[in-house]
Amino acid sequence: MFDQAVMMSHIVFGVFGILFAVALYMDVSNASETNLRRIKVLSWLVAVCVMLSYIVGGYWYVQYYGEHRNIIKAGQWPWAHTYFMEVKEHLFFIMLILSIYLPVAVHGGGLLAGRKARRLTQGVCLLIVLLGLFMEFSGGIIGKSITMALLRR
Amino acid sequence: MREAKIERFTAGFGLSAAASILLNALILVVKETNEHVMNFFKSLMGHHWVTHGAIVIGMFIMLGFIFSATNLPDRLDAGRILKYLIWAVIIGGSIIAGFFAPNLRAAL
């Protein structure tokens, strides 16, 4: 039960990270004195959610994934581990770096003064969203591969 | 309207993010193709992925402060940093996805 709770919180933090990045993208489009504080808060929320997803997911990966990996590799979709999990676990570092960078870009980027500065923040948000969607897609395939393998037994 | 200059930490850490993203892909290739490196990573922190993450995040923070302390940020604007980041994600992501691509043959 504990390992399932850990896994679910990894997914939930990841989804919230993506949603906050979408909200931040939209807010930066209309950056003004009125919403600047919210923009800063959103940038921190993206960073915190992705970091928590990394810590919780990393804990689950190190503690529990070994057993799941053996089931996947013996099942019908062994490539769910050899491709999707391998790619996911290494692409995650890119998403993590971009998420940590986001508050730095927002706080020092002069959002109200220039179009390029707004584009930088929006570009980073977009990269986080795209990477996040790939994480969710890969996670779905990995989860399904375990179901497929167990059904076959 | 003239673009306002971005703060030096934004430029320095932006540059560091691009470099760390590429370094991440490089570390992956090295550890996966060299057994000694893989075993060394495992012995350092118990799991190769944990060590890999610690190095990448550590490099991002360290390079961020180093780049911010140089005069590099003075020559960069937000547009150029975004370009570096996009290219780093494309190149780093392609290396990672491409490296494991042969494992997909089993799916076909």
Give the closest-approach CA distance of A1 to chain B in angstroms.
24
With an 8 Å Cβ cutoff, are A116 and B3 in contact? Answer: yes
User: pLDDT tens for residues A82-124?
Assistant: 999 999 999 999 999 999 999 999 998 677 778 888 999 999 9
Would the CA dihedral through A66, A71, A73, A74 be positive or negative?
A: positive
**CA-wise closest residue to B73 among B20, B22, B16:** B16
Domain coordinates in residue numbering, chain A:
2-152
Query: A13: exposed, middle or buried (C-beta count within 10 Å: 0-12, 13-18, 19+)?
Result: buried
Domain coordinates in residue numbering, chain B:
8-99
pLDDT at residue number B1: 47
Q: Which residues of B touch A110 (CB under 8 A)?
A: 4-7, 78
User: pLDDT tens for residues A129-149?
Assistant: 999 999 999 999 999 999 999
- Given a contact cutoff of 8 angstroms between Cβ atoms, the answer to whether A120 and B81 are in contact is yes
Beta strand spans in chain A (E): none
Distance CA A39, CA A45 (A): 10
What ipTM does this complex have?
Answer: 0.93
